[in-house]
Amino acid sequence: MRISVMGCGYLGAVHAACMADFGHEVVGVDVDEAKVKDLQAAKAPFFEPGLPELLERAMGSGRLTFTTDVTVLSRQAGSPEADEPMVHFVCVGTPQRKGEFAADTSYVDAAVRNLLPHLRPGDLVVGKSTVPVGTAARLADLVEPTGAMLAWNPEFLREGHAVVDTQRPDRLVYGLPSDPATAAAAKALLDGVYADPLSHGVPLVTADYPTSELVKTAANAFLATKISFINAMAEVCEAAGADVTQLATAIGHDDRIGPKFLGAGLGFGGGCLPKDIRAFMARAGELGADQALTFLREVDAINMRRRVRMVELAREVVGGSFLGRKVAVLGAAFKPDSDDIRDSPALNVAAQIKLQGADVVVTDPAAIENARRVWPELQFATTAEEACAKADVVLLLTEWREYRELDPAKLGEIVRGKHVLDGRNALDPAVWRGAGWTYRALGRPRAGD
Ligand code: NAD
């Protein structure tokens, strides 16, 4: 099938490469010239495991191209390409609006408007961006006069696992038009696009536009709530001298609860969960259903409090003031296996500590360049050893595997103070304490408590 992908960021670049790998002919379109230049050279413009190999393979096949020029999508009436319907995926960003909770959908609107002159009857525009409920119906009014159709197909990929999540998602959701014949035509095109995962038994849920939009925001709201739930338990554990990791293990054995997303620590960040729950609250307010989501305010507040708590704990450990202290921060990305620093809890904590007078050195296996661009006032080191040299305290804030596997005995030889704060409950306290370190973590008692 012939496919275009509007927006080639964390979502769109992976989607374009995976679709080409399924055997489709794909053109990725983005307004960012530098990004497109990298992609044209089969270079991944961001860190995502498996993407470089996939890009190389897909571009080597000749089925994947990238451009900034949307007019490549126009087809001459009567040409063989014009008779064949194209599927156009919209994968552009929907960031939080400045000074508001609501999502900025202007990029989605612009991408669809840019497509309009190139749509032909029978084409299908497919929204994948995370949008406020009601967006699809509004965009369908723009698309339908061209004779093309619109569907919504929310995306659930996790950065760090984006390739496999796109190839074999947990489920596919199609939000289809209300007219049965149009819905059947749109579904047939999507079934063709996703023939590979569907043939491997990936479950499919078909729904109307608003339900499909809400599936995505509801899923993110649930995940954020689960993380903030265990972090609320961590706050109580801290007050009561209990251990949240044991509590999480014990409640996670209950099938109805399950062990996933019960890792207490510094909380969630990134380009999705924080802005998505805020946009969800804003949209519910517009719809007059704000009471239904007031709990998400608390979910957000619990999450943000963990960052403050981490800073307090670090200050306590270095003797009550950061002045003249050196703080090593392991991790800058919002989570491991990604270079994404959007709303990164690690960088938020690092910056707060810096503002309170410490000398802060941050390291990360993939995100230093991105972090330096946004926080030039922080210092950066390329290795954990370099960052920790003469540090008064070491903060593990993003649980990259190489940090989980650090040798406390070796690290103990280069620091000034053997104090480690485990912001992700990713280290073994017994091992670190055995090597002479003071180990502190969110939601866990200090040794001897
Ligand atoms: P991103 O910022 O990495 O990528 C967006 C891209 O769109 C950028 O490269 C930008 O240059 C491009 N763009 C902007 N306007 C454009 C236009 N008019 N035409 C063509 N390209 C344009 O963002 P992302 O993380 O890929 O997220 C995209 C959407 O997918 C968001 O709605 C997000 O919430 C959703 N989503 C993201 C993830 C994720 O893990 N990143 C997962 C699921 C859903």
pLDDT value at position 79? 79
| Bridge partners, 173 (sequence order) | 205
For residue 387, report the distance from its CA to the centre of ligand 1, in Å.
32
In Å, how far are 4, 200, 263, 267, 278 from 124, measured between CA atoms? Answer: 10, 24, 41, 38, 30
CATH of 2-207, one of 1.20.1250.20, 3.40.50.720, 2.60.40.420, 3.40.30.10: 3.40.50.720
Segment 15-45, tens digit of pLDDT? 999 999 999 999 999 999 999 999 999 999 9
Among the listed residues 394, 412, 413, the one whose alpha carbon sits nearest the alpha carbon of residue 403: 394
- Which ligand 1 atom sits closest to the C-alpha of 92? 7
Mean pLDDT of 345-365: 98
Nearest-angstrom CA–CA distance, 124 and 163: 24
Q: Please indicate whether residue 130, judged by its CB atom, sits closer than 6 Å to ligand 1.
A: yes
- Residue 448's pLDDT is 64
- Model confidence at 261, pLDDT cuts 50, 70, 90, reads very high
Tell how far the Cα of 154 is from the centroid of ligand 1, in angstroms: 12
Report the distance separating Cα 198 and Cα 203, nearest Å: 7
Burial label for 50, CB within 10 Å (0-12, 13-18, 19+), is: middle
Q: What is the DSSP letter of 200?
A: T
Ligand 1 mean position to 255 CA, how many Å? 35
> Given a cut of 60, is residue 372 above it in pLDDT?
yes
Higher pLDDT, 448 or 164: 164
End-to-end CA distance of the chain: 63
Structural element, H or E, at residue 104: none
Q: Which of 309, 330, 328, 327 is nearest to 404 (CA)?
A: 330
* Contact 46 CB / ligand 1 (< 6 Å): no
Report the nearest atom of ligand 1 relative to the CA of 11: 26
Please state, rounded to an integer, the average pLDDT across all residues of the chain.
97
Tell me which residue has its CA closest to atom 38 in ligand 1: 11
The whole-number pLDDT of residue 45 equals 96
Helices (H), 170-293: 180-193, 195-199, 209-240, 244-252, 273-286
Domain extents for the chain? 2-207, 222-441
Determine whether 91 is an active site residue.
no
Report pLDDT digits (tens) over 70-81: 999 998 777 777
**Given a cut of 60, is residue 449 above it in pLDDT?**
no
* pLDDT tens-digit series, residues 401-441: 999 999 999 999 999 999 999 999 999 999 999 999 999 99
Closest CA to 369 of 355, 385, 382, 388: 382
User: Ligand 1 atom 9: the closest Cα is on which residue?
Assistant: 9
> Annotated catalytic residue: which of 8, 18, 272, 388?
272
Same fold, 2-207 and 222-441: yes
In ligand 1, the atom with minimum distance to the C-alpha of 103 is 32
Does 163 sit in the ligand 1 pocket, CB within 6 Å?
no
Q: At a CB cut-off of 8 Å and minimum separation 6, what does 185 contact?
A: 122, 124, 149
Please give the C-alpha separations between residue 122 and each of 119, 145, 385, in angstroms, as whole numbers.
Answer: 9, 11, 58
Please name every residue paired with 363 in a beta bridge, in sequence order, or none if there are none: 330, 381
pLDDT, one tens digit per residue, over 173-185 is 999 999 999 999 9
Strand order in the sheet with 86-90: 64-67, 25-29, 2-6, 86-90, 124-127, 149-152, 172-176, 204-208
Output the CATH code of domain 222-441: 3.40.50.720
CA of 90 to the centre of ligand 1 (A): 9
Nearest alpha carbon, ligand 1 atom 25: 10
196-211 pLDDT, tens digit each: 999 999 999 999 999 9
CA of 447 to the centre of ligand 1 (A): 45
For 200-254, what is each residue's pLDDT tens digit? 999 999 999 999 999 999 999 999 999 999 999 999 999 999 999 999 999 999 9
